[in-house]
Amino acid sequence: MTEPHTTGRTGEKNIPSVNAENEHASAATKLTIGLAAVAVIVVVGLVVSIVMLFRGDDAEPLVSLDPTTDNGATARLGDLQFMPEPVFDKLHRVVYVPLDPHGVILADTLASTNRPVEQAPSGVMLQRIHGNMDLPFSTSDGPTGFTDSGVATGFARTPQGAALAAAHYIGYVAAGGNRVEMVTEAGRVSDPTGQLSGVRLADDTPTAVMPMVNVTFHPDLTLVKFGATFERPNGATELRVVKIPVVWREGTGWVVQLDSTAFGTEFEPVSSEGWQRWW
Protein backbone atom coordinates (compact mmCIF):
# COMPACT_ATOMS: atom_id res chain seq x y z
CA MET A 1 0.00 0.00 0.00
CA THR A 2 1.52 3.34 -1.04
CA GLU A 3 1.49 6.53 0.99
CA PRO A 4 -0.68 9.46 -0.20
CA HIS A 5 1.10 11.90 -2.48
CA THR A 6 2.14 14.83 -0.27
CA THR A 7 4.24 17.02 -2.52
CA GLY A 8 3.30 20.59 -3.40
CA ARG A 9 2.51 23.74 -1.46
CA THR A 10 1.53 23.59 2.19
CA GLY A 11 -2.18 22.84 2.64
CA GLU A 12 -2.51 20.82 -0.60
CA LYS A 13 -1.99 17.38 0.94
CA ASN A 14 -4.62 14.68 0.41
CA ILE A 15 -6.46 16.71 -2.20
CA PRO A 16 -8.22 13.62 -3.62
CA SER A 17 -9.65 12.87 -0.19
CA VAL A 18 -10.87 16.46 0.25
CA ASN A 19 -12.43 16.44 -3.20
CA ALA A 20 -14.22 13.18 -2.43
CA GLU A 21 -15.62 14.67 0.77
CA ASN A 22 -16.77 17.77 -1.10
CA GLU A 23 -18.45 15.68 -3.79
CA HIS A 24 -20.24 13.62 -1.14
CA ALA A 25 -21.41 16.80 0.62
CA SER A 26 -22.59 18.24 -2.68
CA ALA A 27 -24.56 15.09 -3.49
CA ALA A 28 -26.16 15.14 -0.04
CA THR A 29 -27.06 18.81 -0.48
CA LYS A 30 -28.70 18.13 -3.84
CA LEU A 31 -30.61 15.21 -2.32
CA THR A 32 -31.80 17.38 0.57
CA ILE A 33 -33.05 20.01 -1.88
CA GLY A 34 -34.90 17.39 -3.88
CA LEU A 35 -36.48 15.85 -0.79
CA ALA A 36 -37.42 19.28 0.53
CA ALA A 37 -39.32 19.77 -2.73
CA VAL A 38 -41.30 16.60 -2.00
CA ALA A 39 -41.99 17.60 1.60
CA VAL A 40 -42.63 21.31 1.11
CA ILE A 41 -44.20 21.52 -2.32
CA VAL A 42 -47.55 20.27 -1.04
CA VAL A 43 -47.34 21.81 2.41
CA VAL A 44 -47.11 25.35 1.03
CA GLY A 45 -50.38 24.85 -0.81
CA LEU A 46 -49.54 24.85 -4.51
CA VAL A 47 -52.33 25.26 -7.07
CA VAL A 48 -53.81 21.95 -8.21
CA SER A 49 -52.73 21.02 -11.74
CA ILE A 50 -55.12 21.57 -14.64
CA VAL A 51 -54.38 18.08 -15.97
CA MET A 52 -57.64 16.09 -15.73
CA LEU A 53 -57.94 12.94 -13.68
CA PHE A 54 -57.73 9.81 -15.85
CA ARG A 55 -59.58 6.80 -14.58
CA GLY A 56 -60.45 3.59 -16.40
CA ASP A 57 -62.91 0.80 -15.78
CA ASP A 58 -61.88 -2.27 -13.86
CA ALA A 59 -61.58 -5.37 -16.03
CA GLU A 60 -61.04 -9.08 -15.94
CA PRO A 61 -58.03 -10.76 -14.38
CA LEU A 62 -56.64 -9.60 -11.07
CA VAL A 63 -53.22 -7.95 -11.17
CA SER A 64 -50.71 -10.28 -9.56
CA LEU A 65 -49.72 -8.87 -6.18
CA ASP A 66 -47.40 -10.42 -3.64
CA PRO A 67 -49.59 -12.48 -1.27
CA THR A 68 -46.62 -13.28 0.98
CA THR A 69 -46.64 -9.70 2.25
CA ASP A 70 -50.38 -9.60 2.94
CA ASN A 71 -50.97 -9.35 6.67
CA GLY A 72 -54.67 -10.14 6.33
CA ALA A 73 -55.72 -6.62 7.25
CA THR A 74 -58.07 -6.15 4.30
CA ALA A 75 -60.60 -3.50 5.08
CA ARG A 76 -63.49 -1.45 3.80
CA LEU A 77 -64.50 2.01 4.90
CA GLY A 78 -67.32 0.58 6.98
CA ASP A 79 -65.01 -1.61 9.04
CA LEU A 80 -64.34 1.09 11.63
CA GLN A 81 -60.62 1.08 10.92
CA PHE A 82 -60.52 4.81 10.24
CA MET A 83 -61.28 7.92 12.22
CA PRO A 84 -64.99 8.81 11.91
CA GLU A 85 -64.33 11.69 9.51
CA PRO A 86 -61.68 12.29 6.82
CA VAL A 87 -59.72 15.53 6.53
CA PHE A 88 -58.55 17.82 3.73
CA ASP A 89 -54.88 18.21 2.88
CA LYS A 90 -53.30 21.45 1.68
CA LEU A 91 -54.55 20.77 -1.86
CA HIS A 92 -58.09 20.11 -0.59
CA ARG A 93 -57.80 16.41 -1.34
CA VAL A 94 -59.72 14.06 0.94
CA VAL A 95 -57.41 12.12 3.27
CA TYR A 96 -58.55 9.26 5.53
CA VAL A 97 -56.91 8.80 8.93
CA PRO A 98 -56.48 5.13 9.88
CA LEU A 99 -56.64 4.05 13.49
CA ASP A 100 -53.55 1.92 12.87
CA PRO A 101 -50.67 4.35 12.18
CA HIS A 102 -49.26 1.92 9.58
CA GLY A 103 -52.34 2.39 7.41
CA VAL A 104 -55.13 0.09 6.25
CA ILE A 105 -54.76 -2.49 3.47
CA LEU A 106 -57.70 -2.16 1.08
CA ALA A 107 -59.70 -5.11 -0.24
CA ASP A 108 -58.55 -6.32 -3.67
CA THR A 109 -60.59 -5.51 -6.76
CA LEU A 110 -60.24 -6.84 -10.28
CA ALA A 111 -57.95 -4.93 -12.61
CA SER A 112 -56.88 -5.65 -16.16
CA THR A 113 -53.36 -6.99 -16.63
CA ASN A 114 -52.95 -5.02 -19.86
CA ARG A 115 -53.96 -1.56 -18.71
CA PRO A 116 -52.36 1.43 -20.43
CA VAL A 117 -49.47 3.07 -18.57
CA GLU A 118 -51.47 6.25 -18.08
CA GLN A 119 -54.43 4.56 -16.40
CA ALA A 120 -54.77 5.21 -12.69
CA PRO A 121 -54.79 2.42 -10.11
CA SER A 122 -58.26 1.36 -8.99
CA GLY A 123 -59.74 2.37 -5.66
CA VAL A 124 -57.13 4.98 -4.77
CA MET A 125 -57.38 6.36 -1.25
CA LEU A 126 -55.04 8.83 0.43
CA GLN A 127 -54.25 7.79 4.00
CA ARG A 128 -52.41 9.78 6.66
CA ILE A 129 -49.95 7.25 8.05
CA HIS A 130 -47.63 7.57 11.05
CA GLY A 131 -49.25 10.94 11.71
CA ASN A 132 -47.29 12.93 9.12
CA MET A 133 -47.42 11.33 5.66
CA ASP A 134 -50.37 11.51 3.24
CA LEU A 135 -49.76 8.61 0.83
CA PRO A 136 -51.87 6.64 -1.68
CA PHE A 137 -53.27 3.13 -1.21
CA SER A 138 -55.11 1.23 -3.94
CA THR A 139 -57.33 -1.81 -4.37
CA SER A 140 -55.61 -2.96 -7.57
CA ASP A 141 -51.84 -2.47 -7.24
CA GLY A 142 -51.03 -2.50 -3.55
CA PRO A 143 -49.88 -2.28 -0.95
CA THR A 144 -50.81 -5.71 0.38
CA GLY A 145 -48.98 -5.61 3.71
CA PHE A 146 -46.41 -3.97 5.97
CA THR A 147 -43.00 -4.65 7.44
CA ASP A 148 -42.80 -5.01 11.21
CA SER A 149 -42.07 -1.28 11.50
CA GLY A 150 -45.01 -0.33 9.30
CA VAL A 151 -43.50 0.33 5.85
CA ALA A 152 -45.94 -0.65 3.08
CA THR A 153 -45.01 -3.61 0.85
CA GLY A 154 -46.52 -5.73 -1.90
CA PHE A 155 -46.80 -3.20 -4.73
CA ALA A 156 -47.56 -4.74 -8.12
CA ARG A 157 -45.00 -5.08 -10.90
CA THR A 158 -46.99 -2.66 -13.05
CA PRO A 159 -46.69 1.05 -13.93
CA GLN A 160 -49.33 1.77 -11.31
CA GLY A 161 -47.57 -0.34 -8.67
CA ALA A 162 -44.23 1.32 -9.42
CA ALA A 163 -45.75 4.78 -8.95
CA LEU A 164 -47.42 3.78 -5.69
CA ALA A 165 -44.17 2.31 -4.37
CA ALA A 166 -42.19 5.38 -5.40
CA ALA A 167 -44.72 7.64 -3.67
CA HIS A 168 -44.44 5.67 -0.43
CA TYR A 169 -40.71 5.18 -0.27
CA ILE A 170 -39.63 8.68 -1.32
CA GLY A 171 -42.31 9.96 1.07
CA TYR A 172 -40.48 8.25 3.93
CA VAL A 173 -37.15 9.66 2.79
CA ALA A 174 -38.62 13.18 2.74
CA ALA A 175 -40.37 12.88 6.11
CA GLY A 176 -37.43 13.26 8.49
CA GLY A 177 -34.65 11.21 10.04
CA ASN A 178 -36.91 8.81 11.92
CA ARG A 179 -38.79 7.92 8.73
CA VAL A 180 -35.55 7.55 6.75
CA GLU A 181 -34.43 4.97 9.29
CA MET A 182 -37.67 3.02 8.84
CA VAL A 183 -37.49 2.80 5.04
CA THR A 184 -33.77 2.03 4.89
CA GLU A 185 -34.12 -0.76 7.45
CA ALA A 186 -36.96 -2.12 5.32
CA GLY A 187 -34.58 -2.29 2.35
CA ARG A 188 -36.78 -0.16 0.12
CA VAL A 189 -34.14 2.51 -0.62
CA SER A 190 -30.79 1.83 -2.27
CA ASP A 191 -28.16 4.35 -1.18
CA PRO A 192 -24.72 2.80 -1.86
CA THR A 193 -23.01 6.20 -1.98
CA GLY A 194 -24.33 7.22 1.45
CA GLN A 195 -26.15 10.35 0.35
CA LEU A 196 -28.78 9.98 3.06
CA SER A 197 -26.13 10.39 5.75
CA GLY A 198 -25.88 14.06 4.80
CA VAL A 199 -29.62 14.75 4.67
CA ARG A 200 -30.89 16.99 7.45
CA LEU A 201 -34.69 17.00 7.70
CA ALA A 202 -36.50 17.21 11.03
CA ASP A 203 -38.21 14.11 12.40
CA ASP A 204 -41.90 13.81 11.47
CA THR A 205 -41.68 16.40 8.68
CA PRO A 206 -45.18 16.61 7.11
CA THR A 207 -45.13 15.29 3.56
CA ALA A 208 -47.65 14.28 0.91
CA VAL A 209 -47.63 12.72 -2.52
CA MET A 210 -47.46 15.29 -5.31
CA PRO A 211 -50.66 15.39 -7.39
CA MET A 212 -49.35 14.53 -10.85
CA VAL A 213 -47.71 11.37 -12.17
CA ASN A 214 -45.74 10.48 -15.30
CA VAL A 215 -44.43 6.90 -15.62
CA THR A 216 -41.85 5.51 -18.05
CA PHE A 217 -42.36 1.82 -17.35
CA HIS A 218 -40.12 -1.20 -17.68
CA PRO A 219 -40.77 -4.25 -15.48
CA ASP A 220 -37.15 -4.23 -14.26
CA LEU A 221 -36.43 -0.50 -13.98
CA THR A 222 -39.01 2.30 -14.06
CA LEU A 223 -38.77 6.08 -13.91
CA VAL A 224 -41.59 7.68 -11.95
CA LYS A 225 -41.96 11.44 -12.13
CA PHE A 226 -44.12 13.37 -9.68
CA GLY A 227 -45.10 16.96 -10.39
CA ALA A 228 -47.10 19.96 -9.25
CA THR A 229 -47.70 23.36 -10.75
CA PHE A 230 -45.35 26.03 -9.48
CA GLU A 231 -45.14 29.78 -10.09
CA ARG A 232 -41.60 30.84 -10.88
CA PRO A 233 -40.22 34.20 -9.64
CA ASN A 234 -40.65 35.56 -13.18
CA GLY A 235 -44.39 34.88 -12.99
CA ALA A 236 -44.34 31.85 -15.31
CA THR A 237 -46.25 28.74 -14.22
CA GLU A 238 -44.38 25.49 -14.74
CA LEU A 239 -44.31 21.97 -13.40
CA ARG A 240 -41.92 21.32 -10.53
CA VAL A 241 -40.83 17.72 -11.11
CA VAL A 242 -39.18 15.14 -8.85
CA LYS A 243 -37.77 12.10 -10.72
CA ILE A 244 -37.70 8.80 -8.83
CA PRO A 245 -36.08 5.71 -10.42
CA VAL A 246 -37.29 2.42 -8.93
CA VAL A 247 -35.73 -0.98 -9.61
CA TRP A 248 -37.47 -4.35 -9.22
CA ARG A 249 -35.66 -6.79 -6.93
CA GLU A 250 -36.89 -10.35 -6.63
CA GLY A 251 -38.05 -11.13 -3.13
CA THR A 252 -38.28 -7.43 -2.24
CA GLY A 253 -40.22 -5.61 -4.94
CA TRP A 254 -39.71 -1.99 -5.99
CA VAL A 255 -36.70 -0.18 -4.48
CA VAL A 256 -35.82 3.51 -4.91
CA GLN A 257 -32.36 4.09 -6.45
CA LEU A 258 -30.96 7.25 -4.88
CA ASP A 259 -27.60 6.79 -6.60
CA SER A 260 -29.11 6.73 -10.10
CA THR A 261 -28.25 9.55 -12.50
CA ALA A 262 -31.99 9.74 -13.21
CA PHE A 263 -32.81 10.83 -9.66
CA GLY A 264 -33.32 14.57 -9.27
CA THR A 265 -35.56 17.58 -9.77
CA GLU A 266 -36.34 19.75 -12.77
CA PHE A 267 -38.96 22.05 -14.28
CA GLU A 268 -41.18 21.26 -17.26
CA PRO A 269 -43.79 23.25 -19.20
CA VAL A 270 -47.35 22.63 -18.02
CA SER A 271 -48.10 21.50 -21.59
CA SER A 272 -45.67 18.56 -21.35
CA GLU A 273 -47.16 15.23 -22.43
CA GLY A 274 -47.59 12.08 -20.39
CA TRP A 275 -48.85 13.62 -17.16
CA GLN A 276 -51.88 12.28 -15.30
CA ARG A 277 -53.52 13.10 -12.01
CA TRP A 278 -54.14 9.90 -10.09
CA TRP A 279 -54.79 11.24 -6.58
With a pLDDT cut of 70, the percent of the chain lying above it is 72
Tens-digit pLDDT profile for residues 104-161: 999 888 777 789 999 999 999 999 999 999 999 999 999 999 999 999 999 999 999 9
**Residue burial 200-229, b: 16+ Cβ < 10 Å; e: rest:** ebeeebbbbbbbbbbbbbeeeebbbbbbbb
Flag whether pLDDT at 96 surpasses 50.
yes
∠ Cα 85 89 92 (to 5°): 95
Which carries the bigger pLDDT value, residue 172 or residue 234? 172
Taking CA atoms, 257 is separated from 83, 129, 187, 271, in Å, by 35, 23, 11, 28
Give the per-residue pLDDT at 111: 79
Q: How confident is the model at residue 79 (pLDDT cuts 50, 70, 90)?
A: low
| CA neighbours closer than 13 Å in the CB half-sphere of residue 238 | 13
Q: Which residues pair with 251 in a beta bridge?
A: none
Q: Which DSSP helix (H) or strand (E) runs through 219?
A: none
Give the per-residue pLDDT at 127: 98
Tens-digit pLDDT profile for residues 178-206: 999 999 999 999 999 888 888 788 999 99
Give the per-residue pLDDT at 104: 96
Sheet containing 94-96: give its strands across.
Answer: 87-88, 94-96, 125-129, 133-137, 207-208
Tens-digit pLDDT profile for residues 203-258: 999 999 999 999 999 999 999 999 999 998 888 999 999 999 999 999 999 999 99
Flag whether pLDDT at 72 surpasses 80.
no
- Integer distance in angstroms from the first to the last C-alpha of the chain? 56
DSSP letters spanning 2-27:
PPPP--SSTT-TTHHHHHHHHHHHHH
Flag whether pLDDT at 37 surpasses 90.
no
Dist CA 130 CA 45 (whole Å)? 21
Q: Stretch 68-96: mean pLDDT, rounded?
A: 73
Q: Residue 87, Cβ neighbours under 10 Å: how many? A: 13
Taking CA atoms, 166 is separated from 23, 162, 203, in Å, by 26, 6, 20
The mean of the pLDDT values for the chain is 80
Question: What residues contact residue 41 under an 8 Å CB cut-off, 6+ apart?
Answer: 210, 228, 230, 240
Q: How confident is the model at residue 26 (pLDDT cuts 50, 70, 90)?
A: low
Give the per-residue pLDDT at 77: 55
